[in-house]
Amino acid sequence: MAELIKEKNWIPKHLRRPSFKAYKNNSNAPEWEFVDQKTKDFFLGKMKENQDHVINDSFEENGVWYWTSTIEFKDGPRIIPCDVIEDAGFIVPESHKIAREKRVERDLGKLHEQMKDHEPSEEELYEMRAAFGPGETVVNLITGKETKL
């Protein structure tokens, strides 16, 4: 299992703010404090839930964490996203980051191959016209294919 972050006031980016002390010291690595006690209590509760989920619903093999529920998938178990591990308060091993990046590249390559001949259905075209307006050109981010609405 990866090492648990031991910093006393570690919190995710969306729940933290720099302390006055960090600005005063003009530090590149500011000290973080909880916004208030309610936020601290909420965060610590969520972090505990996330830790339990990651610990109880995963397994580790060669420095990579996988979801237990995906063991039976035909292309192998799913690697836990790094942000999920970090939000649970764990430090993500470098081997995990590398394996996750390789898996994402592989999966995107497969998706690109599957979608190379895809033509938008009438329903997809209708939704695109509603979102972007008639006459606009929409680009499929996976294939790079342009569709004139």
pLDDT digits (tens, 9 = 90+) for 18-52: 333 333 344 444 344 566 777 777 777 777 777 77
* The pLDDT of residue 72: 80
Examine residue 128 and state whether it is found in any structural domain, yes or no: yes
Examine residue 40 and state whether it is found in any structural domain, yes or no: no
Examine residue 60 and state whether it is found in any structural domain, yes or no: no
- When divided into structural domains, the chain yields a total of 1
Examine residue 137 and state whether it is found in any structural domain, yes or no: yes
Examine residue 123 and state whether it is found in any structural domain, yes or no: yes
Q: What residue numbers bound the domain in which 130 lies?
A: 117-149
- What is the per-residue DSSP string for 31-89? -EEES-HHHHHHHHHHHHHHHHHHHHTEEEETTEEEEGGGTT-TT-PPBPPHHHHHHTT
Of 140 and 37, more confident: 140
* The pLDDT of residue 105: 92
Examine residue 126 and state whether it is found in any structural domain, yes or no: yes
Examine residue 77 and state whether it is found in any structural domain, yes or no: no
* The pLDDT of residue 35: 64
* The pLDDT of residue 34: 61
Examine residue 96 and state whether it is found in any structural domain, yes or no: no
Which strand (E) or helix (H) includes residue 149? none
In this predicted structure, the answer to whether residue 89 has a pLDDT above a threshold of 80 is: no
